[in-house]
Structure formats: C-alpha cells, structure tokens
Chains A and B, each alone.
Chain A
Amino acid sequence: MRPMAPLNWGLLPPSFLLPSSTRSLLSLISLSAAPSHTTIRTIKSVNTPRPDRFAHHPKKPALNSTSRAALARKVATTPLRTGLLAQKCGMTAVFDPETGKRTACTVLQLDRNEIVAHKTREKNGYWAVQIGAGSKLIENTSKPMLGHFAVAGVEPKRWIMEFKVRGKEGLGLPVGQTVGASWFSVGQWVDVKGISRGMGFEGGMKRHGFSGQPASHGQSLMHRGMGSAGGSQGSGSRVLPGKRMAGNMGNESVTVKNLKVLQVDEVNGIVVVNGCVPGPKNQIIKVQDAIGKPWPAGPMKLDEIIPASIGPAAAASPA
C-alpha cells in the first residue's frame, strides 16, 4: 500500500521551521503563490448540489418554505380586519322599492361578540383575532377556559373562533371589546363559513348526483346503486383512488363566497345577507369580509364605527 500523502503536501512548512533569513520574503510568497486554502485534488462533480431548503443566505433568493414566506403568499387573501360570529336565523326576502326585484336573503344574528384574544406574529406566528360569542355558565366551563376568559375580562363564551388578519393594524379592536352588527356596512360583500347540515350516510345518487339504474327492463333488486366502480383487468383491476361512492354527506365546513350585506341592524344584532348560508337554523356562522372583492372601507377600530344607532327605519331600507 502506498503511503498516504498529507493533505497539505503542496504547502510551505510553518514559518518557524523556515530559516530566519527567508522569513521576510514569506509575506510575498503567501500573497502571490500559495493558495489561502487547502487544495484537494479530486474529480470534480458535474452535479450541482441540491439547494438546501433551510440554509438561507441573504444573497440567495428568499426561501418559500418559511412561515414568513407563507404569510407573504397569503397576503392577498387575508382580510384586513376581523370577521364576526353570527347565528343563522332563517330565510326571508326583501323587495327593492325602485326596481321591485325580489331578493331571497338569510337573516343572521350576532350574539354578544367579544374579542377574547389577539394572536400576534411574535408570539403565535400569525396575526389573528379570537372572537367569542354567546354565553355559557361558569359552572359548565372548564377551569383552563375560565382563566382564558378572565384574562380577557369577558364572561365565558359559548363559541370561540379565530379570524386571521393581515397584520397588526387588523388588531384594532382591543381585547374584551364588544362588537355589534354595525361592524359590517350595508352593500359590502362578505364570505360566510359554516358547517353544513349533516345528511348521514348517503348513496351515490343523493351525494354525487349519480343517475342510478333503470326502474324496469328486467332490472333486479338494484335501482339506486352506483353501478360500476371502474374497469376490469385491462384497467388494472382496481378502484382508482378518489372514486366517488356512497358515504357520509354534509356536516362539513362550507364557505359561501361573495354574499352582499342587505341590511344591518345594530339594536337587534341583525345582519341580512343575500342568498343562502350553510347549516340549519341556529348554526354558528363565521362572517368575514369577502376575499374575492375589494376590501371594504369599513371600520378597523371601534371608534371608526359610524354611531351605529341607525334606527330600524333607516336600517330597513334594502341596498
């Protein structure tokens, strides 16, 4: 076996090993000839190394797997201000006095909405407002939650949900503050999110709109079945993932986008939105500014709310 060459075989020995007469020339040599680093002679790889997702360097382009990048990506779709929690009360209609057009609408009612907490970038990694609605007996609230409410200085809440906001200016409402229906303005657009009615285990006809099978022509004991679930041997003799079948229907979160606010009544806590809203009556609903429309010039803070004592008569006029 050949003796291994030391790695620094091409380099000068340390200066203290050199004769003292040549030491004055050492600086010149090191500047001109000697490389500043150890050179290892190998076969150079043609593969450029895969960039490390986590090794960030200011000179490199910004990484997109960080929380900062994630927030930046969602800037366009994160509302500027918080939404509120409402209960679905039922549907009715409004007529436009000018055109006479009838619009089906859903009545939502806001019940004791209060700010329970703020989520901040420094502490929680994102900006959000935690809203509580309704009320709950102290006896029926767990002690950790009681502590949470006590810090906010609010009574125990039946529902608590978070609304993400874009930045610090979205936290305009202080913790413990009560917000009413006049947070929304007539004519603005909102997105509405709620849990749809649960239908239970449903067949393909109801769940996905399959056409079922014939009623007659020799059909035997199979009229509402889904039929074939896929090809046979030529297609792999398997059911493709994602094949639509019978299963649990409803009872899932549904967002309805771009509903117009037709009426706002601060006194009665009523917000009337155009069209229908998921879920049964008394379903708790998240109402927030529509992300598909320009952000409304609505109030960002409490003192910006137009004195909400719009009388019922004024509030009654539909948009």
Chain B
Amino acid sequence: MATALASARTGASRAVLLSSKPPTTAAKSLKGSKLADAMHRSLYPHLYQQGGGSAPNRKIRQQMGTMKRYKQVEAEREARKVSWFRNKTRTSSINKLAMQPQKPRAIKKACPDPVAATTASQLALHDSTGARTRLFDRTNPECARVGDILLVRQRTGEPFAGVCINIRRRGIDTAILLRGQLTRVGVEMWYKVYSPLVEGIEVVQRAQRKARRARLTYMRKEKHDRGSVENVVRVYLRQKAALGSAEGGKKKGAAAAAAAAGGKKKGNARGKKR
C-alpha cells in the first residue's frame, strides 16, 4: 500500500514529495521516483537546463513563477476591466446622476429572509401579545405538548376540547390536532393556532407523563383511545370559575365570565344531545 501511495505521489504532486523526505524504508518507491524523474528530464529538458540534482526544485520554482505572473496578469486585466467600465459609465451614461456611480444596497442585506419577515408581520397582527407563540414554544417549560387536553374557544360555535395528538409547527401556519368525542363518536379537529377564528386555547389537563412520540396517532386505536374528555373539561371549567370568583374577578373577570359562558353553552348543548 505504501508503494502504491508513493507512486501516486510521484505521479500527482511533486511538491509534496519534495517537501517531505521520502521514507527511506520504501526503497522501491524511491527507485520508481528516480525513474519518473529520468523520464521527465528526457521529456522536458528545457526545465532542467541549470543545475543538476536540484532541477525539479527549480522547475517548481519556475512553475510557481509562471503561476504568479499569470495571476498578476489576470488581476491587471480585471482591474483594467473595472476601470474601463467606470470610465465608460462616466463618459457615456445617459443620466448624469451616474457621475458618482452609487451601488444600490443588496436587498438581502436589508432582509435576508423575506418569508420570516412576512410571518413575523402576520404574527404581530394575529398574536400581538405573543401568548400563543409562548404556548407552543418548545423552550417554554409550560408549553402545551402532545398528550395534553386542550380546549379551543372559537369566535363562532361551541368550544372544542380534546387530546392534542399532533402539533404541526409551521410559523403562522402552526396547527394542532385535537381528538375528542361528539355524540360518542371519535372526532379529530385541526385548528390553526393563529387563526383569528380561534379566540383562546387553554390547557385543561397536562399529560401524566411526557409522551415519547411526536404524534400520538396510536390513540386512534380502540385500545389507546382516551374517549370523551367531557368530564375533565367540566371539572376544569368549574374550578376556573370558582377561582375567578374567589380572586374577586377584577382582572380575570371578563375572561372567567367568557369561559363560564362557553362552558355553560357547552353544557346546554350536551344536555340537548343526551
């Protein structure tokens, strides 16, 4: 393997071989390199004109010199092109404003991520307090997770409660999938978290332990189905109403009332159905 490597080196880059002394143990490779040198010398004698043994060194130096000169020439040419363009702009431009060519600022510098900017403006509009964002922010220890029972109050219609079995985090399009029961039939509802139609999202009950899945689709199976969450929600609403009244209901009065009203509505509906 060592020989193969060395021969590859001789073939590919002489500079490497020269800078690091070839291993004395690999005598065969040395021989090979000598042969290659001899061949190279016979093929390109003009590179080996001065000096005997140190000719390859000179060759490299020559090559480097050529490269340097090439780069210099290139740079000069580029500089000439730039100055030619600037000069041409000054002399033949239609509008005289361009006498001082002002380079417009790249818009990517002002706004590197336009989608994020649009999303941010939408979030500012639909979630001005940032409460929803915090509720579904993974860094927040109090955030809602899959397995929690969530209650979604809507602008129109009754609130819907169910086990959150999926959180789809997509900026302004963030949505939750709630699984509950209506008329004893399992129902799953997607809600866009930032939709103006969603007035409030409340955590009714936390999961007993953290779910070990991102999506609890196994809950659709009969064995794992949580069934109706009605009782849990009723207890929660009653407790909340009690707390609201105990605290005096100055600050939270409106919210509590709303929640109570929602709860009452739900209660009525349930009554009808039964």
Q: Which residues on A are within 8 Å of B, measured CB to CB?
A: 89-98, 100, 102, 105, 107-112, 114, 135, 138-139, 143, 146-147, 149-156, 174-176, 178, 263, 265, 267-270, 272, 312-313, 315-318
B78, B106, B111, B118, most chain A CB atoms within 10 A: B118
Q: B32 near A: Cβ within 8 Å?
A: no
What would 13 more interface pairs be, CB under 8 Å, given A90-B114, A102-B192, A174-B95?
A: A95-B125, A100-B196, A138-B78, A146-B88, A151-B92, A155-B103, A174-B94, A267-B111, A268-B114, A268-B117, A270-B114, A312-B121, A313-B124
- Which residue on chain B has the smallest CB distance to residue A118? B94
Contact A316 B124 (CB under 8 A): yes
Can you sample 15 A-B contacts with CB below 8 Å?
Answer: A94-B122, A95-B122, A95-B195, A100-B195, A100-B197, A107-B115, A135-B106, A155-B104, A176-B93, A267-B110, A268-B117, A269-B111, A269-B114, A316-B124, A318-B122
Contact A146 B84 (CB under 8 A): yes
Shortest 4 CB-CB contacts between residues of A and residues of B: A153-B98, A316-B121, A153-B93, A268-B111
Contact A150 B92 (CB under 8 A): yes
Contact of B126 among A97, A155, A265 (CB under 8 A): A97
Chain A residues with CB under 8 A of B98:
153-154, 176
Contact A153 B95 (CB under 8 A): yes
Chain A residues with CB under 8 A of B38:
none
> Would A265 and B117 be within 8 Å (CB), given that A146-B81, A153-B94 are in contact?
yes
- Which residue on chain A has the smallest CB distance to residue B111? A268
Q: Which residues on B are within 8 Å of A, measured CB to CB?
A: 78, 81-82, 84-85, 88-89, 92-95, 97-98, 101, 103-108, 110-111, 113-115, 117-119, 121-122, 124-126, 155, 171-173, 192, 194-197
Contact B110 A90 (CB under 8 A): no
Contact of B81 among A112, A138, A174 (CB under 8 A): A138
- Which residue on chain A has the smallest CB distance to residue B115? A90
Chain A residues with CB under 8 A of B197:
100
Chain A residues with CB under 8 A of B173:
92-93
Contact B78 A89 (CB under 8 A): no
Contact B114 A95 (CB under 8 A): no
Contact A109 B78 (CB under 8 A): no
Contact of A112 among B104, B114, B119, B124 (CB under 8 A): B104
A146, A149, A150, A312, most chain B CB atoms within 10 A: A150
Shortest CB–CB separation between residue B154 and chain A, in angstroms? 9
Chain A residues with CB under 8 A of B84:
143, 146
Chain A residues with CB under 8 A of B103:
135, 155
Contact B125 A89 (CB under 8 A): no
A154 to B103, CA, bound (A): 8
Contact of B117 among A94, A96, A114, A270 (CB under 8 A): A270
Chain A residues with CB under 8 A of B78:
138-139
Shortest CB–CB separation between residue B175 and chain A, in angstroms? 10
Contact of B107 among A100, A109, A312 (CB under 8 A): A109
A92, A102, A114, A272, most chain B CB atoms within 10 A: A92
- Which residue on chain B has the smallest CB distance to residue A316? B121
B78, B98, B114, B196, most chain A CB atoms within 10 A: B114
- Which residue on chain B has the smallest CB distance to residue A104? B173
A224 to B103, CA, bound (A): 54
Chain A residues with CB under 8 A of B110:
267-269
B107, B108, B171, most chain A CB atoms within 10 A: B107
A172 to B145, CA, bound (A): 57
A109, A272, A318, most chain B CB atoms within 10 A: A109
A105 to B119, CA, bound (A): 11
Shortest CB–CB separation between residue A289 and chain B, in angstroms? 22
Shortest CB–CB separation between residue A154 and chain B, in angstroms? 7
Contact A153 B107 (CB under 8 A): no
Chain B residues with CB under 8 A of A315:
121
Contact A95 B93 (CB under 8 A): no
Chain A residues with CB under 8 A of B126:
95, 97
- Which residue on chain B has the smallest CB distance to residue A108? B114
- Which residue on chain A has the smallest CB distance to residue B91? A150
